[in-house]
């Protein structure tokens, strides 16, 4: 966390060094292979620099190494196979580089002591090894933003898992058994599966996920079927994203049980029926995206109870009736409101004139409706 530049110097005759932590600088060049000669090291943290070139195989010579962080650099090539055999490692992060190659099938056995494994944001194009289920101490697993393909193996044995990020790959759901197995991961707080090729109906087993779950991201897949009514059981959700799928049916009224929800994104699906009035019970909402569906009937007045909304998008539906004066009056902190391309009628309430310069509102879309009367003056 300084402004050091240039290459990392070579290490010669260094025999007692335990911690090498150069994270968050502007260091460049390659990682000197001579670091591997410092057998006393237990921690090598070189993340968030401008390092390039290959990962030196000599790092695997450090038999007592616990932490290895090379993330957020420009490293290329593949991870040396010998590093995947460093049984002492507890923390291994090489995310956000340009690495290619394989994740060895035996990784779960050779690195069974890992608590954190981050390989995300590289160019890996492989199957996810089933042996990962043997990493019983694993708390964070990030394989996101690669080109991983095939199905997700069962990971239900990872009872200590807190975060699982598999988003932005080419993964398929098949029978969704991997999701069912995650019910055993009772410590899970984050599950990211967005931007894959997951298809088929969302299994009811999703409601058996950890009650500690805070972030559930399923957007931009090919998921069909309806949203399970029991989704309301995940009462600690902070963010729920199911956008850009093929979900149909109505939005369950049980969504109102998610009192801790800040972000709800169900946009660009095939949802129909009314917006459930129970949405007003989710009073902490800051973002609500329901655009690009087939929702109909009136906008529930209870939505005004979500007074902390910053962003509200109900565009491109079949909503009708008028917008309640209370909704405009109570959304004091909104910076983006989009009601466009519906069948809304009536006059715009005079309170709308209080929005503009000096308020937080930056964007208001009401085009493509049936409003009449005068445009409110400021």
Do 190 and 215 form a contact (C-beta atoms < 8 A)?
A: yes
For residues 91-129, one letter each, b for 16 or more C-beta atoms within 10 angstroms of the residue's C-beta and e for the rest, the string is bbbbbbbebbeebbeebbebbebbbbbbbbbbebebebb
Which CATH number is 224-377's, of 3.40.50.1100, 3.80.10.10, 3.30.420.40, 3.40.710.10? Answer: 3.80.10.10
CA 10 from centroid of its chain's CA atoms: 39
Residue 146 clears pLDDT 90, i.e. is over it? yes
Token pair belonging to 50: 């401008």
Region 128-156 average pLDDT: 97
Mean pLDDT of the chain: 94
Distance CA(2)–CA(4), nearest Å, equals 6
pLDDT surpassing 70 at residue 16:
yes
Task: Indicate the pTM of the whole model.
Answer: 0.94
Across 131-275, where does the E strand assignment appear? 140-142, 149-151, 163-165, 170-172, 190-192, 199-201, 215-217, 222-225, 239-241, 246-249, 263-265, 270-273
Q: Please give the Cα distance from 126 to 274 (Å, whole number).
A: 43
pLDDT at 378: 67
**Average pLDDT rounded to a whole number, residues 232-260:** 97
Of the candidates 349, 344, 292, the one whose C-alpha atom is nearest the C-alpha of residue 319 is 344
pLDDT band at residue 273 under the 50/70/90 scheme: very high
């Amino acid at each position: 966390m300084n402004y050091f530049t240039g290459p990392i110097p070579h290490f010669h005759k260094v025999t007692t060094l335990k911690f090498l932590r150069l994270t968050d600088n502007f260091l460049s060049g390659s990682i000197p292979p001579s670091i591997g000669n410092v057998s006393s090291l237990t921690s090598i943290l070189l993340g968030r620099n401008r390092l390039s070139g290959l990962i030196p195989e000599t790092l695997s010579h450090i038999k007592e190494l616990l932490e290895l962080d090379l993330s957020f650099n420009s490293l290329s090539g593949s991870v040396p196979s010998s590093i995947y055999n460093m049984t002492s490692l507890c923390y291994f992060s090489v995310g956000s580089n340009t690495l290619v190659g394989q994740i060895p099938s035996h990784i779960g056995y050779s690195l069974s002591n890992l608590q954190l494994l981050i390989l995300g944001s590289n160019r890996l194009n492989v199957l996810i090894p089933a042996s990962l289920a043997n990493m019983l101490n694993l708390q964070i697993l990030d394989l996101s933003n690669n080109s991983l393909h095939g199905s997700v193996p069962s990971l239900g044995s990872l009872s200590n898992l807190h975060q699982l990020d598999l988003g932005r790959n080419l993964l398929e759901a098949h029978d969704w058994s991997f999701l069912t197995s995650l019910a055993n991961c009772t410590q899970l707080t984050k599950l990211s599966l967005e931007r894959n090729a997951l298809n088929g109906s969302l299994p009811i087993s999703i409601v058996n996920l950890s009650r500690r779950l805070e972030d559930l991201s399923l957007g931009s897949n090919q998921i069909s079927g309806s949203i399970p009514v029991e989704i309301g059981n995940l009462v600690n959700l902070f963010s729920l994203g199911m956008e850009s799928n093929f979900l149909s049916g109505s939005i369950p009224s049980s969504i109102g049980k998610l009192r801790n929800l800040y972000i709800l994104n169900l946009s660009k699906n095939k949802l129909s029926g009314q917006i459930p009035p129970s949405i007003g019970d989710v009073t902490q909402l800051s973002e609500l995206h329901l655009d690009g569906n087939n929702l109909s009937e009136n906008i529930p007045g209870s939505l005004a109870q979500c007074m902390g909304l910053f962003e509200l998008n109900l565009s491109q539906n079949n909503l009708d009736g008028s917008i309640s004066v209370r909704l405009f009056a109570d959304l004091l902190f909104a910076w983006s409101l989009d009601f466009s391309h519906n069948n809304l009628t009536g006059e715009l309430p005079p309170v709308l004139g209080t929005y503009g310069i000096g308020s937080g509102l930056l964007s208001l879309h009401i085009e493509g409706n049936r409003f009449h009367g005068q445009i409110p003056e400021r």
